[in-house]
Structure 1
Amino acid sequence: MDIMKEKKWDNLGFGWSLRCWQERAIQKLVHQLENGVSRVCLIAPPGAGKTICALALAARLERFVEVRVPTTALVEQWNQRIQDALVCLGESVQPPFHVDTYASNTPFNPEALLIMDEAHHLTAKWGLKIKKQWNPEQQILFGLTATPPYQSKGWERFVDLFGLHPVQIPAPPLVRESQLSPFQDLVWPVLADINDLPQLVRYWEQLQEIEEELGAPFRFWKEKMLVERWWELTEERFINRSGLLVALCRIRKKSGRELPNDITEEEEFLDTPTLEDRALVIWTYAKEKPDIITKLKQIGFLIRKSGPVLKEDIAWKALSHADARVQGALDVLAMEDKQRADFLRALIVCNRDVEGDVLSARQILKVLVQDSRTAHLEPILVSGTVFWVDEDIYDNLQRHFIGGEWVKKDNHYELDVKDWTTSNRVALATKFLATGVTRCLVGTRHLLGEGWDCPAVNCVIDVTGISTSVTVNQIRGRGLRPDPNDPTKVASLWDILSLSPGVPNGDRMLKQLKKRHQHTFGIDEKGRIRSGVERIDPIFSKRFSVVVGEVEAIQSRMEHRLKNSSHSLQQWAVGQDYLDTQLWTIEKKADWDFHPVVLPKEEIQIPQHNAGKDSLVVRVQRKRQRSLITKSTVLLCATLCVYLAIVNSGLPMALGAIFEIPILWWVAQKQEQADRVSILVETLHEVLKEQEPKLGSLHHDGRSWWVDGEEHGESFAVALQTLLGPVRYPRYLLIEENGSVFAVPDQLAAHKTLAEKLARMWSKNIGACSVVYVRSEKGKKILRSVWKAQTSNMRSLELVQLWK
């Protein structure tokens, strides 16, 4: 867009030096704008300097700047920061900025840079308002946030405003440079009693009543769908992301019956059916039965084009309110006290103050002061309406309060604070925590969430029962401020994870845990800095039943990590140099083996691309021909060794020599397989490099592969994961002469010429092959055979995002 520069910038300069992560972020934002986009977004943790980055970008673009913020307090902060950051280079001028709240109706400057601070607030009405006012032909929209609303209801609107490719400043560089405290994400799993989950059980029983009403025809239909229509269901699963096949398989397994022979028992099929699974099957069968649809709605389902969805997230609500989470919080707090002693500064964050259908701050405080393991922490509760203290510190605290009436209740005192301002209550409670008058502060997320600051906090326990990433990230951030009085601080960020095996949706909190940590970095068991829930414990990537069976073992590992927090501090390597780059690697798990599906030759066509003279297949054939004599010689030598062993050392030694022969053969076969995988990876890289010359160099360290550079690293890793993983529903299949079948990655499947390019390189480097279009009749037939032949133990390679 051709825009006139704001002349006032001729006399203004940006007066602050940028840190390396800030400069890198600005360069990426400028690069996006130079490529023609009119909307950008910066995601950065507290302490990263989002405002400074925004002002630096504004200085480079030299436009008039409109800033919008959610509160008047932030308006004042922005105006002050503008005055601090910009310097006059000549005559004094007023900076070309206008700062206002989102509620303002003041129109934007027609050619302005529009900076939207705390952009996660734009997922509701404010976002709709900004979208109407923004002119993408003339204005640049720039969002700033520390807490993007991943997986929340407003995510689509956020993406609509700021796009799918935000620039992100991760936490690790800030930890390295002491802008954030080193931390550990820790999870304490607990098992919820079914008696704590009456609503889940009631929904399940109501669905069961509908199924019984539908009777034998419904049961026969379910049987017929799996036996006769599994192919169509599988297509719908991968094309339209329909969950019907998964739902039918889960329900069948739950009833104790095996799946039909044509259906491979994937892990996803073995979980307990969810409420949505049962409702989807009923709805699919009874779409034309208004009375059944009405009953689904009465239970609590909304009927959409894709099927029924629950009006409320009742599973999350029930699991987060379970009494087991209260006990879990006490267990964690007792462990933290044992480890940190007088240095513990714990924050327990609840969703609300008043007791009701979620864990409340009052409920937590009452339990803390009654438990012998935590009462000596002198807990204090502060909320929008109350200020409670443990009875043991009441005498010491009275002098801090002028006015207000104290009331003794059980093991605590309650202060009448109706004449106090909320800010005064929070400030005093914060002071008590920082100075050690109390070692545990209990409060609500509204008071102690966004904007609250207490660097002394070294333990955060989240019992809010809030699943949105915005709130969760705000809560996590409360423990990340560096403590000037404790240079060895390693913050513990605790999730109390409620699980309920055998109950529908009993894995709801585990699923949300996986989503939440998909975008956060931390230290894994190998000492690497990576994203994903596997870094907390690899078991969280496994099936729900496996996690449930390991609850005590997980708790033991979490306790061990807490005791060894000094080791975590070393792994963060605060103060050491870093590259500030992200790598996407593809890694082989311990149970991964390379075994592509091999179809009978009569089911495949004659290869369209013949093997090259130096291809792997040709070289292996030559090697095997040359080794015939060698193998005969080895066999003769082995026989001689056995004979000599019998003569000289007896039968036991001879048996050892006999067993060595198949072992050596197995080792040779494994090496041949490893060589084959390496050539497959190199071939894929070579083809993608032709498509995208900027693709970085390929690296391999024995168990993982990656390419240099952030821009295309993830794309390559995903392509490799597709090529070497189970076949799902690709556009094209690559079939070798021996019948081995591979899915052509999406990056090379947009049209046949790309797929053929892979096939030509494959034939040159590996062996004869052909590509088949899956949507053709022949392709469908081959794909069905592949799905039938795939075994349940086929594993995908793991995609890992690392920071270095």
Structure 2
Amino acid sequence: MQFRGVWRDYQARVLAEMDDHLVNGRLHIVAAPGAGKTILGLEIIRRLGRRTVVFAPTVAIRDQWAERVGSMFLDAPPSAEDLSHHLTAPRALTLVTYQALDAFRRSDDIDSLVQDLNAAGPITLVLDEAHHLRREWWTSIKQLAASLADVRIVALTATPPYDASFAEWTRYESLCGPIDLEVGIPELVRNGDLCPHQDHVILSAPTTDALTLLDERRRAIWGLQRDLWSDEDLLDEIERHPWLRRPEDHVEAILEAPEMLSSALVLLVAAGRRPPPAALKLLGVSGRDLPNPSLLWLERFLDGVAGGHAGPFRLTDGRLKVLRDQLHRLGLIEGGRVRLRETRPIFQMMASNLAKLESVAEIARAEHGTLGSGLRMVVLSDHIRSSELPADAQAEFRPSKLGVIPIFEHLRRTGPAPDVMGVLTGTLVIIPRAALSRLCELAADQGIDRAAVRSFDLSACPGHVRVELSGVGGARLVRLVTTLFTSGSIQILVGTQSLLGEGWDAPALNSLVLASNTASFMLSNQMRGRAIRVEADNPAKVANIWHLATLEPPAKGVVAEVVDLVNWGHLRDEAPAGLSDGALLSRRFRAFEGISNGASTLIESGIGRLGLDFTQDLGLANDRAFAAAADRQDTARRWSESLGAGGGRARVRETAAPNYAPQRLAWSDTLRALVWSALSAGAFAISDVVQDLDGTEAAGALGMLVASAAALASLPGLAKAARLAWRNGSVEGSLEQVGMVVLLALVRAGLASEADGRDGRFEVKASLDGRRDIVLRGVSRSTERQVMQAIAEVLGPVQNARYILMRHSRLGWRTRTDYHPLPSALGARKDWAEGFAALWSARVGSSRLVYTRTPEGRRVLLRARAKSLAAGFQRSVDRRSAWL
């Protein structure tokens, strides 16, 4: 093997650094689609010089390895003596799927496989698209790797499972190793290996039927809440509950569900009752600190007392039965849980809203108007819905759900180019009748018998035919239709994200519509990756990626009262939660970085970069999106400017964006030291005056001596206070110090390297949504991720931390108490926690470390969590990525 091309600069960087990262026997590379991971993997295999088994998730991706090794590294295709596709007959290079290995494990034949591989000597395992290794396949690879005598593992992926649970990520990283090298989308755009692009969101309102259901549900909830507020017997029962009358006797139970006590208090206050003082005292809050009544708190109360998993806050059996019957009758219990805010049926109704069909058609008309015959659009959906195709051309078209066929038929009837449309899925392929002869020619060129191409008329679509390729794998038909799409015989292709979302390659694609409900990091990046590949014959290519969302319109009349009262709300910030199209978009946009729609040159993840206002008129928002999408030259220009702002050594970095910084801690220390200093100076001055009076010389001298001693004693505190004020004198300074405390504590605990502690430095930059992004430079990728996770825990809401930092400070005549949970990684050991607390006191401000697993500590934790749940300011930390 010998590479026949020229290495791109980032590929050369990976190859130059690979030996340093292979010390632990693992090489974990993350590179965006289009970075040439397969060619890079083959060169790594060549340099390691070992027999190699490459695992891939699909046969199509497996075959790409065979094609690349023949075209890019050898004079002729490899022979059967050198390359194998079977684990039972391994060769110098063996290319197989993960399913093949899993079959060995399930049949208990993996031991014989291990014996054969060990007999052949040192071996390399390449895990292509390693993000698939999260469950059964992970088990198979882990068992194989652990049984091999001398193995090195190379993991390649474009989309590591950042959104996986902590347990899943830990398993993934234990196999692949920490991420060693990462090549992001901005770097590939800068190098010309991906094209400039922009994401656009098109909004729609629910259909009339959906609005009727939503209105009925709102009215039901409003009636329920009104009944609860006026039910004196229920309110009396809540007031008599032991948690409210004798809360000190039930601290452990309350701590298991502190939101239940808070929600009961919120309900009482909303109904005009006074909250019991004993409960407020236990929580460490006053009545005015309680949250305002909202749908969130009503749901928590009802689920806690009447849901299928009702907790220890018990009502009488008679009251409980009446309440449950009422909730069932109103349809407010789903899966045994009370659901007032979001439910899966409503989410599915909104996500599959048929109004999105017209959104797709509007996008197609706009893009066709801009690009004309140069349009190459793909629309991806989750389901095919073959049964939705009408029986004949004159039949009324009334689809019931969103899917491939409903989108295709709506575009065929109302779209801009019905004669150049097609469908490509794993089980259904439709092409224009005019393209059938061209398909047959392409099949003949590939040695496929003309008789293998079978076509079937569609009575509902006279200008189209359904095609099959008998006796040949489905992958061959996909390649033929892809060629028709690339050449322009098909300009708009509707398909499923499962077929076209990973591995499919059509560089001509310049407009992608995601009519899919996926929000996962992996699938979102894979789908977008299809559109942003460069096209050799079109160096000026700019791609548009379109996202669809359905939002509830403002309520009117009586229903508006419940919306205002319980804060039903629309998407009002960058990170909505729960089941909704807005929440789905927010999660999806965390998965990739892009340029802003405004003047900013910052490239970062998150939907905030688009400058959307989901509360404005939908038509105006859509008009702005269409106008921005039409100006592709401006998109290219803004990419060029934004990439230049990144600097020569820029890369994608993980950031933390908190909405809170602990400045008051430093200022409290400063003010206290200044007060002592001022008092001692004042005492010195008074003593000086007294000394000059007749008969008081001795008292004055003694006073001056005491004041001088006090002044000297206050100097260390004043010096520390001055140092804290200098470091924490701004939001940026405060956040930098929090970051340094986290990093140094991890280094001292042995969880990060000494080099990371020596070279790491923090920057705080203004983000596109007004927050500050904390950026860490000079450390490894794994340390960066660990530090950002720890910062998110320290500055975020209190959950169930083992240790808490507690600080009391005066604010006028009131005492303010602030809490900071220690990161879980540092709370695992007492000495690590104490080291963190010492660093915090030295760099941020004096605080007391509290262990929350003692009786007193449990009370502190309860108050901290109650404060975290209180009304007003809510702490949050967004984890993002940015090109810096």
What is the TM-score when the length of structure 2 is the normalising length?
Answer: 0.64
| CA–CA distance in structure 1, aligned partners of residues 404 and 301 of structure 2 | 32
Cα distance, 1:792 vs structure 2: 1.2
1:708 aligns with 2:777: yes
1:793 aligns with 2:873: yes
1:499 to 537, 551, 558: 551
- In the TM superposition, 1:612-651 aligns within 5 A as 618=673
1:112 aligns with 2:111: no
1:521 is matched with 593
Please list the CA deviations of residues 426-480 of structure 1 after superposition, one character each: whole Å capped at 9, or x if unmatched.
4554344334444322233354343332222111112234455444433222212
2:729 to 675, 682, 698: 675
1:773 aligns with 2:825: no
SS at 1:735 equivalent: strand
SS at 2:541 equivalent: coil
SS at 1:494 equivalent: strand
- In the TM superposition, 1:285-300 aligns within 5 A as 285=310
Deviates more, 1:122-131 or 1:559-568: 122-131
Cα distance, 1:408 vs structure 2: 6.8
1:555 aligns with 2:622: yes
SS at 1:135 equivalent: helix
1:567 is matched with 634
SS at 2:463 equivalent: strand
Aligned amino acid, residue 55 of structure 1: L
2:467 to 417, 437, 462: 417
| CA–CA distance in structure 2, aligned partners of residues 316 and 162 of structure 1 | 36
Please list the CA deviations of residues 323-352 of structure 1 after superposition, one character each: whole Å capped at 9, or x if unmatched.
122122222223323443443221112333
Task: Judge conservation of contact 1:317–1:358 (CA < 8 Å) in 2.
Answer: no
1:490 is matched with 542
1:579 to 649, 652, 669: 649
Aligned amino acid, residue 174 of structure 1: L
Cα distance, 1:513 vs structure 2: 2.6
1:511 is matched with 583
1:187 to 194, 201, 205: 201
| CA–CA distance in structure 1, aligned partners of residues 301 and 368 of structure 2 | 42
Kindly, what percent of the aligned residue pairs are identical?
A: 21
SS at 2:512 equivalent: strand
1:667 is matched with none
2:158 to 146, 150, 156: 146
Aligned amino acid, residue 36 of structure 2: G
SS at 1:570 equivalent: helix
Q: 1:141 to 1:277 in 2, by over 3 A?
A: farther
1:349 to 377, 380, 385: 380
Please list the CA deviations of residues 609-637 of structure 1 after superposition, one character each: whole Å capped at 9, or x if unmatched.
xx7xxx6754687699999xxxxxxxxxx
Aligned residues: 711
SS at 2:881 equivalent: strand
Q: 1:584 to 1:222 in 2, by over 3 A?
A: farther
1:78 to 65, 68, 72: 65
Task: Judge conservation of contact 2:354–2:401 (CA < 8 Å) in 1.
Answer: no
Q: 1:569 to 1:330 in 2, by over 3 A?
A: same
Aligned amino acid, residue 51 of structure 1: T
Q: 1:550 to 1:506 in 2, by over 3 A?
A: farther
| CA–CA distance in structure 1, aligned partners of residues 743 and 882 of structure 2 | 22
Deviates more, 1:111-120 or 1:410-419: 410-419
Deviates more, 1:166-175 or 1:451-460: 166-175
1:172 aligns with 2:186: yes
Please list the CA deviations of residues 182-224 of structure 1 after superposition, one character each: whole Å capped at 9, or x if unmatched.
2212222323247349999999999999999xx9998877785
1:370 aligns with 2:413: yes
1:457 to 496, 509, 518: 509
| CA–CA distance in structure 1, aligned partners of residues 425 and 366 of structure 2 | 26
SS at 1:478 equivalent: helix
1:733 aligns with 2:805: yes
| CA–CA distance in structure 1, aligned partners of residues 349 and 15 of structure 2 | 44
Q: 1:325 to 1:169 in 2, by over 3 A?
A: same
Task: Judge conservation of contact 2:420–2:490 (CA < 8 Å) in 1.
Answer: yes
Please list the CA deviations of residues 563-608 of structure 1 after superposition, one character each: whole Å capped at 9, or x if unmatched.
444333123229967424333455576xx68675999xxxxxxx9x
| CA–CA distance in structure 2, aligned partners of residues 192 and 700 of structure 1 | 41
SS at 2:539 equivalent: coil
Please list the CA deviations of residues 6-29 of structure 1 after superposition, one character each: whole Å capped at 9, or x if unmatched.
xxxxxx777766434335556777
| CA–CA distance in structure 1, aligned partners of residues 492 and 878 of structure 2 | 40
| CA–CA distance in structure 1, aligned partners of residues 274 and 417 of structure 2 | 54
Cα distance, 1:482 vs structure 2: 0.9
Task: Judge conservation of contact 2:260–2:301 (CA < 8 Å) in 1.
Answer: no
| CA–CA distance in structure 1, aligned partners of residues 519 and 405 of structure 2 | 21
What is the TM-score when the length of structure 1 is the normalising length?
Answer: 0.70
Deviates more, 1:565-574 or 1:284-293: 284-293
Task: Judge conservation of contact 1:244–1:281 (CA < 8 Å) in 2.
Answer: no
- In the TM superposition, 1:106-255 aligns within 5 A as 107-108=113-114, 109-110=117-118, 111-123=122-134, 125-135=136-146, 138=149, 139-148=151-160, 156=168, 159=172, 162=175, 165-167=178-180, 168-193=182-207, 195-196=209-210, 245=260
| CA–CA distance in structure 2, aligned partners of residues 466 and 585 of structure 1 | 24
Q: 1:448 to 1:169 in 2, by over 3 A?
A: same
Task: Judge conservation of contact 1:616–1:676 (CA < 8 Å) in 2.
Answer: no
Task: Judge conservation of contact 1:231–1:784 (CA < 8 Å) in 2.
Answer: no
| CA–CA distance in structure 2, aligned partners of residues 737 and 154 of structure 1 | 36
Task: Judge conservation of contact 1:387–1:414 (CA < 8 Å) in 2.
Answer: no
Task: Judge conservation of contact 1:389–1:412 (CA < 8 Å) in 2.
Answer: no
Cα distance, 1:487 vs structure 2: 2.2
Aligned amino acid, residue 46 of structure 1: P
Q: Which runs of 5+ in 1 are unaligned?
A: 1-11, 540-546, 600-606, 628-670
Deviates more, 1:679-688 or 1:361-370: 679-688
Aligned amino acid, residue 11 of structure 2: Q
Q: 1:164 to 1:220 in 2, by over 3 A?
A: farther
1:64 to 44, 51, 61: 51
Q: 1:773 to 1:446 in 2, by over 3 A?
A: closer
Task: Judge conservation of contact 1:759–1:769 (CA < 8 Å) in 2.
Answer: yes
1:698 is matched with 762
SS at 1:103 equivalent: helix
Aligned amino acid, residue 771 of structure 1: L
Aligned amino acid, residue 144 of structure 2: Q
Task: Judge conservation of contact 2:260–2:300 (CA < 8 Å) in 1.
Answer: no
Task: Judge conservation of contact 1:531–1:801 (CA < 8 Å) in 2.
Answer: yes
Aligned amino acid, residue 187 of structure 1: V
| CA–CA distance in structure 1, aligned partners of residues 258 and 798 of structure 2 | 18
| CA–CA distance in structure 1, aligned partners of residues 300 and 348 of structure 2 | 14
1:743 aligns with 2:785: no
Q: 1:14 to 1:364 in 2, by over 3 A?
A: closer
| CA–CA distance in structure 2, aligned partners of residues 231 and 515 of structure 1 | 41
SS at 2:532 equivalent: coil
RMSD: 5.6
Cα distance, 1:282 vs structure 2: 1.0
SS at 2:100 equivalent: coil
